[in-house]
Structure 1
Amino acid sequence: MADALIFYTNPMSRGQIVRWMLEEVGAPYETQILGYGTSMKDPAYLAINPMGKVPAIVHHGRTVTECAAICAYLADAFPAAGLAPAAADRADYYRWLFFTAGPVEQAITAKSFGIEPDGDQQRMAGFGSLGAALDALESAVADKAFVAGDRFSAADVYVGSQIDWGLQFGTIPSRPAFEAYVAPLRDRAGYKRAKDIDNALIAEMQPAKPA
């Protein structure tokens, strides 16, 4: 049991990113579904993630939280999956994986809260402005199949998930470079398996309609 890979998630969360990564890795894992405001706040889960948020994984008894960190960890923990690029391509790998997890997500969150930094605030905020963050992200994927080197990696799972989600829900505006980058990712078998699993779980969680 100590060697088990346990995945704590809710299908209506950023856990979908880690689900995709796990399906790309191909290793067996156990899923624990947690509820908002209920089991996520139980002492047993707070001992795993004091933030009371998902996703999280426990592997060999060690806990990893935060989607980008989990993706990077799984790529290293399961090298046979080939999801960590060669050393020569690690600069772009780390750069865009954590840029998307940091400035891009911060900028999107600020916008959703109605926060528009002025000129002085943009100098203090790591993301500057949403437009600046998205322009930088566009430069990472424009005319490229992958963000790091010439093959799919864990960075594509994370960056691709953020762009895919943003385009779907309108938090990232449609741009040709974004659409071209994410389209083939949606055709990956791992992506499709992950979506099928989470969509089925979401359907199960919906209240039954009256007859």
Structure 2
Amino acid sequence: MFQGSMGEDIVTGLTFYTNPQSRGRIARWMLEEVGAPYDTVVLDYAGAMKTADYLGVNPMGKVPAIRHGDRVVTEGAAICAYLADAFPDAGLAPPPADRADYYRWLFFAAGPLEAAVLDKAMGLTPNEKQRQMAGYGHLDLAASVLDRAVATRDWIAGDRFSAADVYVGASIGWYTQFGLIERTPAFAAYLDRLHARPAYIRAAELDDAAAAT
């Protein structure tokens, strides 16, 4: 069975499945930005993520996932977008008419950038023909496109922080931390802005405490 800490989820019925040493940190940050109470269920890789109970939540046997009432959402970018819509009072999604950059960069980080980074992490170097097939082309291209985007504005989707910044910022943070992309001056300044947010600090403290147990 799961090991978790029960939160005050009576109003929202919101449950968060995670491991503090995973992409679950992205969803935790987003949950803290939303500010709604939630129940945290911490799963270990070797056992709980592969049980029938959790596979009923996410058949991939991966984290993060959330259950909101009778709805289940997996995948970090989807969780960020869902929570922004489910809790509109938090102001984490632009108005529908202003979501072009919001969707563009949210899915750029979840799609082309992550694919390019994973190829590098696994030691795969696409040849010229393969680059034509791949949506990201190659890692240097994908990283430089994102670098130029964050260099021209404080927040990735316009003049205010949004759920897209959670996912894009977390991705840049992970990839620069492990040397998978260069920590350029634009990336460093963007991360400084993000890491000063109270919700980011709270989320990091919660996950660091969970990782230490």
Shorter-chain TM band: over 0.9
- The change in CA–CA distance for 1:102 and 1:77 in structure 2 (over 3 A counts) is same
Q: Please, which of 4, 12, 36 is the counterpart of residue 27 of structure 1?
A: 36
Indicate whether 1:172 and 2:177 are aligned.
Answer: no
Indicate whether 1:105 and 2:114 are aligned.
Answer: yes
Q: Please, which of 81, 84, 95 is the counterpart of residue 90 of structure 2?
A: 81
Indicate whether 1:191 and 2:200 are aligned.
Answer: yes
Could you tell me how far apart the structure 2 residues matched to 1:98 and 1:3 are? 27
Residue number in structure 2 paired with 1:209: none
Q: Aligned with 1:164: secondary structure?
A: helix
Identical residues among aligned pairs (%): 60
Could you tell me how far apart the structure 2 residues matched to 1:171 and 1:188 are? 24
Q: Which runs of 5+ in 1 are unaligned?
A: 205-211
Could you tell me how far apart the structure 2 residues matched to 1:2 and 1:46 are? 25
Counterpart amino acid of residue 51 in structure 1? M
Contact 1:11–1:201 (8 Å) recurs in 2: yes
Q: Give the Å deviation of 1:3.
A: 4.5
Spell out, residue by residue over 1:134-156, the C-alpha distance to the aligned partner (whole angstroms, 9 max, x if none). 01111221131101121000000
Could you tell me how far apart the structure 2 residues matched to 1:134 and 1:95 are? 15
Residue number in structure 2 paired with 1:207: none
Counterpart amino acid of residue 131 in structure 2? Q
Could you tell me how far apart the structure 2 residues matched to 1:86 and 1:172 are? 32
Residue number in structure 2 paired with 1:208: none
- Equivalences for residues 126-137 of structure 1 within 5 A: 126-137=135-146
Indicate whether 1:147 and 2:167 are aligned.
Answer: no
Contact 1:2–1:61 (8 Å) recurs in 2: no
Residue number in structure 2 paired with 1:61: 70
Contact 1:82–1:153 (8 Å) recurs in 2: yes
Could you tell me how far apart the structure 1 residues matched to 2:70 and 2:12 are? 7
Could you tell me how far apart the structure 1 residues matched to 2:206 and 2:195 are? 15
Could you tell me how far apart the structure 1 residues matched to 2:157 and 2:107 are? 13
Given the two structures, how large is their TM-score scaled by the length of structure 2? 0.93
Could you tell me how far apart the structure 2 residues matched to 1:2 and 1:55 are? 21
Q: Aligned with 1:134: secondary structure?
A: helix
Q: Which runs of 5+ in 2 are unaligned?
A: 1-9
Spell out, residue by residue over 1:34-86, the C-alpha distance to the aligned partner (whole angstroms, 9 max, x if none). 01021000001101100000000000111000000000000000000000012
The two structures, once aligned, show a CA RMSD in angstroms of 1.1
Residue number in structure 1 paired with 2:7: none
